[in-house]
Structure 1
Amino acid sequence: MTLRVVLADDEPLARKRLARLLREAGCEVVAELTGSAATLEWFGQNREGDALFLDIQMPGLSGLEVLAELQDPPPVVFVTAHVQYAVQAFEAAAVDYLLKPVTEDRLLKTLERLHHQQIPRRKGAELAALIPAPSPRFPVRAGEGFVFLDLRKVSHFEVEDEVVYAWSGERFKTSWTTLLEIEQAFPDEGLVKVHRHLLVRPQAILGFKPLMGGRGDITVTGGRVLPVSRASVPKLKGLLGLLSRGEGI
């Protein structure tokens, strides 16, 4: 029986790639939703779908918060880049938990579980208790004082003359002096060093362009184009799911 699935993910590259993998596995993708608001609106008007592939981290409501709002959701597979949410995902009675970038073999195992398992469903207060902690925040300079930035609204960090700047629409001066300090401060956030002076949040990457000599460029939220060193390209391509099938998503 063909599985009819709904896919909700605010990251265009990840959403497009997972939709392709699902179709190649024989599924029918009945909807590709771009975030939490679109997901709630769609399920408010539709009851289609044998399964919901749902990103945990999205602007606005998280995937767990979205699930808590749905009246009668189909079986859920959580998809995210953050392994620390695995326990919460299974406590929410998810069918499975997929870590980005999703591989074909791992996806096929998930589809087998969807075909064969009867999954208990939770909603309302039960799910509200599982909602993860808020995004980490950190102070940045603002005039003579400080303001606090939400880490998951930052596209990247840049070090210049032993000063680290955080980019969130504009550049903010932090109290850090090296990128290593940031990696140590947020070890579970999956930050990726793409150049000796640049540390990027993978979820902020909108596009990748290979360049001569094995180097590359990435475009991040806000539209900035950042260089990727030759040494960092293989790791980044693996993270973005670009290794197994050439450069195409």
Structure 2
Amino acid sequence: MKIKCIITDDEPMARKGLRGYIEKIEFLTLVGECEDAIQLNTMLKNQQVDLIFLDIEMPEMTGLELLSNITNPPKVIIVSAYEQYALKGYEFEVVDYLLKPVSFDRFLKSANRIHALLQTEQKEADDYIFVKSDKQLKKILFKDILFIESMENYVIIQTVSSKEIVYTTLKQIHESLPQDIFQQTHRSYIVNINQVNAIDGNLLNVNSYKIPVARNLKDNIFNLILNNRLITKG
């Protein structure tokens, strides 16, 4: 994954330092430099960008003022000499806040954080299936599926916001899903184990639904859900 980034800082030496750091990191690609927030505002209208390294104190308009005036900005890492803006910066959901002078070690840590974040977001965006329901082809994200219930020649896909009835078998749809996340708990049910919020005897609480677990599958299913995270009294 290549991350396209822009440096915005009114200090030439600060831009030079960040440019040198970016050149050392293989997955970062510098696509532009701006001397102030107004230049950045113009560049964002003409350039697709994944990440902004943004100074705060700049002429005409501060970095925070710019963030308050744009919708759906790219990811932002603030690079500033003033720590008092940190809390305000995080109100804009910035990924990180770097205090000048920035060491390469600290810069690399921040770059790795944004790389992991964007990879996760990309994976989630790619994790979906299309199903035919109500004479339409509907896109369903894996993470939104609560469970799937078999109804003879049909299945019901229950998501966080809808119920889709699809003409297929439980076996066929299971083969289209990630096997580590979607587990068959019963001959009639497949459950997204990430959506389980409680275990009650032989039942799984999934949102407001109770899904049965077959006796012969119970130990394996419970181990997968708990994943060594069960806290007991010693």
Q: Normalized against structure 1, the TM-score is what?
A: 0.45
Larger RCO (CA within 8 A; separation ≥ 6): 1
Q: Normalized against structure 2, the TM-score is what?
A: 0.48
